[in-house]
Amino acid sequence: MSVLDEVLSANDHYAASFGGKSELSLPPARRFAILTCMDARLDPAKYAGLTEGDAHVIRNAGGSASDDAIRSLIISYKLLGTREWFVIHHTNCGMEFFSDDLMEGLCGQSLETAALGPDGFTDVGSGGGSHEAKYIDWLTISDMDQSVIDDVARIRAHPLVPGRIPIYGYVYDVTTGKLNEVAGATEAGRAR
């Protein structure tokens, strides 16, 4: 079966027992939001105990407080009433394994998927790349705890984010499933 068929088949099963979820209201019932990485090993519904209708989950590469993540967080509180936010990065994140320069080089060589080996990512294509990558800030991570602190601090300092919203900072451990607090981030994100 192709991935498309698998997904549509899974959706048939899901929709067949949709039940009371048709009555869920638009604002998240538990009034909180999580900003986290898109990494396939992370399932916020499971690691944070969510079900449909509970919370907003905003995901991107790294769980970065990018302009677009902040746009979503502001909509989350201003229009939909969330009152507490989590920034959750994780161990062994792909964003630790490259730099803007490396990405520019890889994309400049080809559009094939790079290979990840002990020495990091290498290009395996044969031409046909683009230099557009140099115009993108890839928001890579060099120090995991510090990246959580920086992202929480950026959200905290945003003029459209009210001081009453506490912002908690955590690193999810992909080897144990545990959320480990980054004390400096929770400090930086304290409500005021």
Positions in 108-137 near Zn ion (CB under 5 A): none
Can residue 37 be called a binding residue for Zn ion (CB under 5 A)? yes
SS3 81: coil
Q: What is the DSSP string of 88-106?
A: EEETT-GGGS--HHHHHHH
Shortest spacing between CB 120 and Zn ion, in angstroms:
15
Among the listed ranges 29-37, 129-137, 138-146, 182-190, the one in contact with Zn ion (CB under 5 A) is 29-37
Token readout for 17 is: 């027992």
CA distance 152 to 88: 10
Shortest spacing between CB 100 and Zn ion, in angstroms:
17
Can residue 151 be called a binding residue for Zn ion (CB under 5 A)? no
Q: Which of 33, 34, 35, 39 binds Zn ion (CB under 5 A)?
A: 39
CA atoms within 13 Å, Cβ hemisphere of 113: 3
CA distance 139 to 150: 12
Shortest spacing between CB 97 and Zn ion, in angstroms:
10
Handedness of CA 134, 104, 101, 174 (dihedral sign): positive
Among the listed ranges 5-13, 28-36, 86-94, 176-184, the one in contact with Zn ion (CB under 5 A) is 86-94
Number of residues located near Zn ion, criterion CB under 5 A: 3
User: Interface residues with Zn ion (CB under 5 A)?
Assistant: 37, 39, 93
